[in-house]
Amino acid sequence: MNTDVSGPSAALPLASPDAALRPPAITPWRLWRIISRRERCILFGGWLCSVLLSLGLGVLSVAENWSGMPLQFGGVTVYITVYPALLISLWWSLCLGWWWGALPAYLTTLVLALYAGMAWQWAALFAFADPLGVAVMVLGFRALPMLRGLRSLESVLHFVQLSFVGSIFSSSGALIWTYCNKQAFSELLPIWQGWWLGFFLQNLLLVGPVLAQSWRATDRWLSRHQALPPASEAESRHLIVLLLVLVSLGALVYGYLSLSLGSSLLLGQLQHGLSPELRQAATVMTQTGWVFFWVFALQVLFNAFFAYRLFLHWQGRNQQLLTALKQSNAYLAQLVRLDGLTGLLNRRSGDEVLQQEWLRSQRSGQQAVLIMLDIDHFKQVNDEYGHDVGDRVIERVATLLLEHTRAIDTAIRYGGEEFLLLLPHTTQEGGVQLAERLRQQMAARTLHCNDVEVSVTLSLGVAATTMVMQDKAAWVKQADMALYQAKRAGRNRVVAAH
């Protein structure tokens, strides 16, 4: 018997107001196929203009030497690099997907490296630095989509952390730049610090505010063209693990390079004109700094492991709650669609199945049969023996129907003592034969309940679909008229509609 109780159900708003959909991972060539011609012109025209703008700004940053500029901050000299092209790449990647920003970031960095005289082999490798930093940020928002929105303290802090880690990975290009230009190791500090600090500050001061205003608009636009499915449980776990690894690695690389470059610069300057005691003190201070770094590294690794275990525990509890919720929803769906006494489909869900089968029969031309049956003199059973016995009689009829149905058939309790039996891929002759077997077996059975014996009979009407039927209601009406004729003819009989 067909017991499908699936049906539309309301979606539960489990996300917080700050939650947004997982950032898209849609490639330019895929989006090209699903948007209109006008939208292509606007979107890809704007993207090409932004690529050209990125190239111009990249060359300008090299020509005007916007790299490693010293600034005084609280009595300390810090270095910063201004690279506007990166802002454009980040916006495209975080709004539409990594490829959208990675391509202009790579091309721009490649062009400025060649413009500065770097060999093309090194320039091709050097150009991956900014796409790498952008990829870390995209990964962070793919792993934790509930923090996408920048409208709460939690989401802002997540954005700050990803900006820092992305800047560290992006600044790996400083090592290639220094090597290719044959600069001293002590000259790497302003270049490296300027690179990551510029990436980080530009993200916080410019990219973040722009994203906060534009993210929701781009998500609404994309939702009109494609579904943005959530990641599976396994994918989410892998993304979280990778994010934890990258965050930990970024913190360790930052600490290592900062301490290594700073101590190298300090010891290099102290070699001239200072007493051995001061040089010894500087060496001890440097060694103490390295000890602190390794303790810090162990603490970072411990925190990453603890965060991962905490995530697994939270995910397990969340999965248990979701499973319980699905089971509750399935149970509620059964209560809505099934008859509580017999377990058969109720009239509302039965009408839906009848409509689907009638449409299928009209499209395919294959006949389907509807048997409508009624318990004869059922009111007298209730009046004479009580409603408890009446309920047992109804249950017995439902059991009889289930005993004679195939997996594709559907039994429906259509009213108080009225039932429907839907038989797909069946001729009217086959339906009449089944109806007669049901009538005979019900008449031959005796129900023992509450110390009484009850026997009942059935009246049955049979109607097959035809190509001239206007709708499902006409099919049901034919079966009902056949049932009425069976009752008028004396009950306990089968009548086929003509």
Model confidence over 37-87: pLDDT tens digits? 888 899 899 999 998 998 888 888 877 777 767 777 766 677 777 888 888
Overall domain count for the chain: 2
- Residue 92 forms part of a structural domain: yes
Q: Which domain holds residue 384?
A: 347-496
The pLDDT value given to residue 482: 94
Whether 185 and 266 share a structural domain: yes
CA 386 to CA 113: how far, in whole Å?
A: 94
The pLDDT value given to residue 19: 39
Percent of residues, the chain, with pLDDT higher than 70: 73
The pLDDT value given to residue 282: 62
Sheet containing strand 410-413, edge to edge, reads: 410-413, 418-424, 368-375, 458-464, 494-496
Last residue of a domain, one of 274, 292, 325: 325
- Residue 211 forms part of a structural domain: yes
Residue with token string 């059975």: 445
Whether 352 and 471 share a structural domain: yes
Whether 440 and 305 share a structural domain: no
Last residue of a domain, one of 291, 325, 359: 325
Q: What is the CATH number of the domain that holds 467?
A: 3.30.70.270
Whether 317 and 425 share a structural domain: no
Is residue 493 classed as helix, strand or coil in its secondary structure? coil
Whether 239 and 313 share a structural domain: yes
Number of residues written out for the chain? 498
Whether 55 and 204 share a structural domain: yes
Residue with token string 């990594």: 98
Pairing relationship of beta strands 447-449 and 458-464 according to DSSP bridges: unpaired
DSSP conformation class of 14: -
Whether 131 and 78 share a structural domain: yes
- Residue 21 forms part of a structural domain: no
Whether 356 and 310 share a structural domain: no
Whether 63 and 158 share a structural domain: yes
In 10 A of CB 306, how many CB atoms?
10
pLDDT of residue 283 exceeding 70: no
Percent of residues, the chain, with pLDDT higher than 90: 25
Whether 34 and 146 share a structural domain: yes
Whether 190 and 316 share a structural domain: yes
| Mean local confidence (pLDDT), 380-402 | 92
CB-based burial of residue 207 (10 Å sphere; 0-12 exposed, 13-18 middle, 19+ buried)? Answer: buried
- DSSP-assigned states of every residue in 212-237: HHHHHHHHHHHHTT---PPPPHHHHH
| Mean local confidence (pLDDT), 2-8 | 45
- Residue 167 forms part of a structural domain: yes
271-292 core/surface letters (b: 16 or more CB in 10 A; e: else): eeeeeeeeeeebeeebeebeee
The pTM score is 0.52
pLDDT of residue 432 exceeding 90: yes
CA 469 to CA 478: how far, in whole Å?
A: 10
Question: Where residue 7 falls among pLDDT bands split at 50, 70, 90?
Answer: very low
Q: How far is CA 57 from CA 69, 87, 178, 276, in A?
A: 17, 11, 22, 49
* Residue 59 structure tokens: 């060359």
- Residue 332 forms part of a structural domain: no
- Residue 292 forms part of a structural domain: yes
Whether 314 and 375 share a structural domain: no
- Per the DSSP assignment, residues forming a β-bridge with 496 are 462
The two counts, helices (H) then strands (E), for the chain are 17, 9
In 10 A of CB 69, how many CB atoms?
15
- Residue 185 forms part of a structural domain: yes
More confident residue, 495 or 1: 495
| Mean local confidence (pLDDT), 314-319 | 73
- Residue 233 forms part of a structural domain: yes
The pLDDT value given to residue 483: 94
